[in-house]
Each structure stands twice: as structure tokens, then as C-alpha cells.
Amino acid sequence: MDAVVTPPPAAVEIVALTKRYAAGTPAAVDQIDLRIESGSYCCLLGPSGCGKSTTLRMIAGHESVSTGDILLDNRNITNLPAAARGTAMMFQSFALFPHLSALDNVAFSLKMKGVARAERHKRAGNLLERVAMGHLADRKPAELSGGQQQRVALARALITEPRVLLLDEPLSALDPFLRIQMRAELRRWQKELGLTFIHVTHSQEEAMALADTMVVMNHGLI
């Protein structure tokens, strides 16, 4: 099997970052400043509605920024489209296409970029092997367990060769036993890949088990 090449990790810095959905309303995220070191595992911890997922979506480019800046290795990415940022995102629901196999789910973004079928399947297959899912490449999401779907979602995120992986409550849909198992796997993958991980959670136990750096958010503030 060919080696899977991963890009170098990147430091993330957010400066006076603000998100306000309507004039005259309280800010969902209120002028926060944060620097996340390159290659670290950072958890944003806080209750539902505190602004942590909004912050993650702004970093990803899935949510517009009201004011402030987002920098990745000192490059301002605030106004770049999501695909040009060097980030990838894993969602709470895994967001896999139900009609596609695991292999085609992982390869989907390469298909959208016009990569030839043989090449994209080769790269997707290598990543599925890396997350111990190669033997289930032909299965559709409904035929996979929650943990297996999460591994497919991770491989799909990694195929874009991100420098920063953004994880939005990735364990909350799993049962308690599997959640503990997948915590260990996420930490192992982060160390093996050497990427910067930014992980949103409402669980203090989860954050303490995973994070090099833990950032507590409440009412849009750090």
C-alpha cells in the first residue's frame, strides 16, 4: 500500500472574532482572541448555545464572520471559500451520503475536482486502510456501525489533505462505551497524523481526555 502523505500542521489564530446574526442582538461570538499551536489537540468546551460550534464553522468557512480575522500560519483566511482554507470538518451526524459506498463517500470530493476514478479510488482506499476500514469499503453507511461511520467520515475529511481538522461534537451520536473507544482512536490518529485538531464538545470529561489545550466558552466569550 502506498504511503499516505499528510501536509504539515498549521497554527490557527483568531483575532477579535465576532458573529452577530442581526443588528442590535447579542453577539453569538463576541470579540474572541485565541491562538492554537501547530500540531496540538485543542478542545472548545462549553454548554449548548455558547458559540463554540459557530466559532468552528467560521474557521471552516461555513459561517460568515461579522468582524475580526482568522489566520492559518499567519495567512488571513477570513474571506476565503471553505475549500481554499486548508481545513476540513467532521460533523456530529457524520453527514455521509446514504446511497454511496464507504469508498465513494471518501472519494467524493476528488470526484468533484475531476480526479480520475482509478486515482480517487486508490487514494480513498489507502485512507480507508489507514483507519482500519479497508475491508468494508463496499458497504453503505446503513450497513456500518456508528464507530465505523465515524472512521469513514474521518477518511473523507483527510482526503482533502487538510492542515487543520475541525470536529463538531463528533462523539455525541455514539453510545457511551463506543464514545470512550473513539476518544482513544481520535487521539491516536491526531498523534499519528500530526495535524492540528480543533474539537468542539460540551463534555468536560471528553475534553480532559483529549486536549493538549482546553478553551472554555460561555455566552460567546472565552
Under-70 pLDDT residues of the chain: 1-9
What pLDDT does 1 receive? 44
Residue 212 lies in a domain: no
List, in sequence order, every beta strand (DSSP E) within 58-127: 67-72, 75-76, 87-90
Q: Tell me what pLDDT residue 206 has.
A: 92
What pLDDT sits at residue 107?
95
68 within a domain of the structure (yes/no): no
Three-class SS state of 139: coil
Identify whether 85 is part of a domain: no
Is residue 77 included in any domain, yes or no?
no
166: left (phi over 0), alpha (psi -120 to 50) or beta: beta
Summarize pLDDT for 15-24 with one digit per residue, the tens: 999 999 998 8
Residue 99 inside a domain? The answer is yes
With respect to residue 128, please indicate whether it lies within any of the assigned structural domains: yes
In a domain, 154, yes or no: yes
pLDDT of amino acid 131:
86
Residue 50 lies in a domain: no
* pLDDT score recorded for residue 208: 94
What per-residue confidence (pLDDT) applies to 177?
A: 84
Q: What is the pLDDT of residue 8?
A: 62
How many domains does the structure of the chain reveal?
Answer: 1
Which domain does 104 fall in, by range?
Answer: 95-161
Asked if 167 contacts 127 with a C-beta cutoff of 8 angstroms, the reply is no
C-alpha cell at 168: 463538531
